[in-house]
Amino acid sequence: MIGTPVLLTGPPDFQVRHMDALQDILRTMRLSGAIFLEADFTAPWCVTSKLTPEDCKPFMPEPNQLIAYHYVTAGRLVVETEGMPAVTVAAGEVILLPRNDEHVIGSGENLKPISADGLIQPANDGGLARIVHGGGGERTQILCGFLGTNAPKTPVCDLLPKMLTISFEQQVGRWIESSVRLAAGRMCQAGPQSPALLGRLAELLFIEAVSRYVAALPQETSGWLAGLRDPIIGRALALLHGPMTHRWTTEELAREVGLSRSAFAERFTSLIGEPPMRYLAHWRLQAAAQRLTNSHEPIARIAFEAGYDSEAAFNRAFKRMFSLPPSGFRQQHGAARPPLDL
């Protein structure tokens, strides 16, 4: 499943039908992003592409997790990434790379790629960077963007294929393109609302792509993504990924989703692969590890907000999972402590 590129088609609206849990979980990721590059290629052409921190720097601090995407506004292109068959993406379609894998895009297969980095013409006055490149043949135009998050890691991106291609009906495709171009145009004019608008458009694309992928999974599929599709377990996952200070119990979760404790626990474990409270503990410890890495908050506060009544209990649980106590983990993985103001 993870090694197969997926072309997603279906109803053109952007409402996440039957995917409230997915939308809630993605909201906890606090996704933001931007379109940073407009490219105009003519065949034959072929480039390697991968987002770097430099691409994100004008728009946001370097995120912990990046999702890359290309929106084809004219023509067509072929996308390849290691270990996967080539995918053709046409005008009005979007290719998303949930884990920002290095990839090759071009006018066809079996062409020798060059690095896209050396072709980029820097943006002027806060506008979009540009690439104009190729042999003068068939024309392809694309808008390149990203979504980033510094929130604790969720299983979403790790469980998706390396590439997702989402296709929209013509009318909706025109609406997306006009909206994206309007936002990009405002950015070129230093419009104050354009970054938020671009990020929201990209977030909608990502939610729709993941929703369609999850909805198309075989009925016999189990695991975290299958749990999202289940209306009861999906709701429970959304609650568990909500405010971390809430002290959930299996009984309370069962009441919230309308099942008995035993029926809920059995259903959750069958789909997700572990009981609800173990899942919650693992998720909150991963979130705590992220905070230890990216902040200078006191360990006692992180422990309390991860659901532990004492720092000692948090230390023991954290060491069991990561083989290091929180202080040692922060020392090994965290950013340097900022200088004191004197």
The structure tokens listed for 97 are: 């790379």
pTM of the model: 0.72
CA distance 149 to 25: 13
- The answer to whether residue 272 scores a pLDDT higher than 60 is yes
Is 222 within the bounds of a domain? no
Q: How far apart are CA 133 and CA 141, in angstroms?
A: 11
Residue 128 has pLDDT above 70, yes or no: yes
Both 203 and 257 in one domain: the answer is no
Question: Do residues 256 and 235 make contact, with C-beta atoms less than 8 angstroms apart?
Answer: yes
239 vs 153 pLDDT, higher one? 239
Q: Which residues have C-beta within 8 Å of that of residue 74, sequence separation ≥ 6?
A: 91, 139, 140, 141
What is the edge-to-edge ordering of all strands in the sheet holding 46-49? 87-90, 76-81, 103-106, 46-49, 114-115
Q: Give the confidence band of 256 by pLDDT, cuts at 50, 70, 90.
A: very high
Question: For position 286, which CATH number holds?
Answer: 1.10.10.60
Residue 26 belongs to domain spanning: 6-215
Same domain membership, residue 174 and residue 28: yes
Q: What does the DSSP 8-state code read for residue 63?
A: P
- Residue 11 sits in the same domain as residue 142: yes
Percent of the chain with pLDDT over 90: 40
Reported as a single tens digit per residue, the pLDDT across 193-227 is 455 566 677 777 787 788 788 878 887 777 888 88
Q: Which residue has the tokens 């173990």?
A: 278
Question: Using one digit for the tens of pLDDT, what is the confidence trace for 35-55?
Answer: 788 999 999 999 999 988 778
Q: What is the mean pLDDT of the chain?
A: 81
The last residue of one of the domains, among 192, 215, 238, is 215
How many structural domains compose the chain?
2
Q: Where are the beta strands (DSSP E) in 14-167?
A: 32-42, 46-49, 65-74, 76-81, 87-90, 93-97, 103-106, 114-115, 129-134, 139-149, 164-167
Question: Do 130 and 209 reside in the same domain of the chain?
Answer: yes
Q: For residues 317-327, give the mean pLDDT.
A: 93
The pLDDT value recorded for residue 21 is 66
d(CA 65, CA 17): 26
Instruction: Assess whether 174 and 302 both reside in one domain.
Output: no
| Contact by Cβ (8 Å): 288, 314 | yes
Q: Please indicate, yes or no, if residue 32 is contained in any of the structural domains.
A: yes
For 56-90, the pLDDT digits (tens) are 777 777 777 889 999 898 999 999 999 899 999 99
Domain stops at, among 165, 187, 215 = 215
Measured CA to CA, the distance from residue 1 to residue 82 in angstroms comes to 15
